[in-house]
Amino acid sequence: MNTLWERYNMKSTEPSRYTISPYLVFVLILTMQFGPEYITMSNKPIQLAGQDAWISVILCGISFHIVIWVMYRILDRNGTDLIHIHERFFGKWAGGALNLIFIAYFLLHACFQMRLFIEIIQVWLFPDLETWALALALLLLVYYIVAGGFRVIVGICMFSLLRYFALFTLIFTAEYFHFSNLSPVMDHSLHEIIKASKQFTFPYLGVETLLFCYTFIKTPKKSQKWTHLSNVVITVFYLMIVSVSLLLFKPEQLSTEMWEQLTKNKFVHFPFIERFEYIGAASQILWVIPVICFCLWASSRMVKLMFTVKQLTVLPILLMVVFAAVCLIQGRSRMDAIQTMLSEFGFYMIYGYIPFLYIVDVVRMKARRSI
Amino acid sequence: MNRLFVLLLGICFLLTGCVKQQILEKITLATVCAYDEAPNDQIELTIAAPMFEPGKSGSVTNKLYSKVGYTSRNILQSMNLRLNRPIHPGKISVALYGKELAAKGVADEMEVSSRDAQSSRKKYMAVVDGKAKELLQAKFSSNEEKGMFLFNLLDTNARTGLVPVQNLHEFEYSYMGKGMDPFLPLLQLQNEQVLISGIALFKDDKYVRSLNEKQMRVMKLLLEDAKHGTLEAKLDNGSNIAVVNVGSKVNYRVGKDSKGPKVAISLTLNGEILESKGMLYPSQEKRTIKDRFETDLVATGTELIQLFKKEGIDPLGLGDIVRSKTRNWNEEEWKQKYRTLDVKLNVKVNFPETGIRK
Pairwise CB contact (< 8 Å): A176 & B178: no
ipTM above 0.90, yes or no: no
CB-closest option in A140, A143, A266 to B121: A266
Give ∠ CA B130-B132-B133 in degrees, rounded to 5.
115
Q: What is the identity of the amino acid at A278?
A: Y
Between B221 and B358, the more confident residue is B221
Instruction: Indicate the domain borders of chain B.
Output: 20-211, 213-358
pLDDT digits (tens, 9 = 90+) for A246-299: 999 999 999 988 899 999 998 988 888 888 888 889 999 999 999 999 999 999
Q: What is the identity of the amino acid at A89?
A: F
> Would you say the C-alpha torsion B72, B76, B77, B78 has a positive or negative sign?
positive
Tell which residue, B288, B201, A5, B316, has the closest CA to residue B343. Answer: B316
Cis status, amide bond into A184, omega within 30 of 0: yes
DSSP code for A23: T
> Would you say the C-alpha torsion A38, A105, A318, A98 has a positive or negative sign?
positive
Q: CB-based contacts of B350: which residues, under 8 Å, 6+ apart? A: B268, B269, B270, B271, B290
Tell which residue, B145, B88, B98, B150, has the closest CA to residue B120. Answer: B88
DSSP string across B253-292: EEEEETTEEEEEEEEEEEEEEEEEET-S-GGGGHHHHHHH
In a 13 Å sphere around the CA of A262, the CA atoms on its Cβ side amount to 28
Query: How big is chain B by its Cα radius of gyration, in Å?
Result: 25
For A312, which residue in chain B has the nearest alpha carbon?
B1
Distances (CA, A) of B34 to B113, B133, B188: 13, 6, 14
Task: Give the model's pLDDT for residue A10.
Answer: 53
State the average pLDDT over residues A169-174: 88
Chain B residue numbers with beta carbons less than 8 Å from the beta carbon of A124 are 117
For A278, which residue in chain B has the nearest alpha carbon?
B118
For A143, which residue in chain B has the nearest alpha carbon?
B5
Window A:60-99, CB contacts with B under 8 Å: none
Chain B residue numbers with beta carbons less than 8 Å from the beta carbon of A253 are 172-173, 176-177
B225 touches B164 (CB < 8 A) = no
Between A369 and B211, the more confident residue is B211
Window B:113-132, CB contacts with A under 8 Å: 114, 117-118, 120-122
Q: How many CB atoms lie within 10 A of CB B123?
A: 21
| Run of H or E residues at A334 | helix A332-348
A140 touches B5 (CB < 8 A) = yes
Q: CB-based contacts of A325: which residues, under 8 Å, 6+ apart? A: A107, A108, A111
pLDDT digits (tens, 9 = 90+) for B120-170: 888 999 999 989 999 999 888 877 889 999 999 999 998 888 888 889 999
Task: Give the model's pLDDT for residue A7.
Answer: 47
Question: Touching check for A247 and chain B: CB below 8 Å?
Answer: no
CB-closest option in A124, A137, A143 to B117: A124
d(CA B154, CA B164): 10
Give the model's confidence band at B101: pLDDT under 50 very low, under 70 low, under 90 confident, else very high: very high
The mean pLDDT value of chain A amounts to 90
Q: How many CB atoms lie within 10 A of CB B337?
A: 16
pLDDT at A12 over 80: no
Q: What share of chain A is helix, strand, coil (3-state, %, to 5)?
A: 80, 0, 15
pLDDT at B280 over 90: no
| Run of H or E residues at B36 | strand B32-38
State the average pLDDT over residues A181-210: 91
Q: CB-based contacts of A48: which residues, under 8 Å, 6+ apart? A: A188, A192, A195, A196, A199
Q: Could you give the percent of chain B with pLDDT greater than 90?
A: 39
Chain B residue numbers with beta carbons less than 8 Å from the beta carbon of A249 are 173
Chain B residue numbers with beta carbons less than 8 Å from the beta carbon of A128 are 19-20
DSSP string across A255-314: TT-S-HHHHHGGG---SS-S-THHHHHHTTHHHHHHHHHHHHHHHHHHHHHHHT--HHHH
Task: Give the model's pLDDT for residue A8.
Answer: 47
Between B212 and B353, the more confident residue is B212
Chain A residue numbers with beta carbons less than 8 Å from the beta carbon of B177 are 250, 252-253
Report the CATH fold assignment for B213-358.
GMP Synthetase; Chain A, domain 3 (3.30.300)
Q: Where are the alpha helices (DSSP H) in chain B?
A: 2-15, 72-79, 99-104, 107-115, 132-137, 146-160, 168-176, 213-223, 286-311, 318-323, 331-338
B200 touches B98 (CB < 8 A) = no
CATH code 2.40.50.140 for A25-363: no
Task: Give the model's pLDDT for residue A272.
Answer: 87
Mutate to test the interface with B, among A176, A265, A268, A273 (most CBs of B within 10 A): A176
> Would you say the C-alpha torsion A125, A130, A131, A135 has a positive or negative sign?
negative
d(CA B141, CA B154): 14
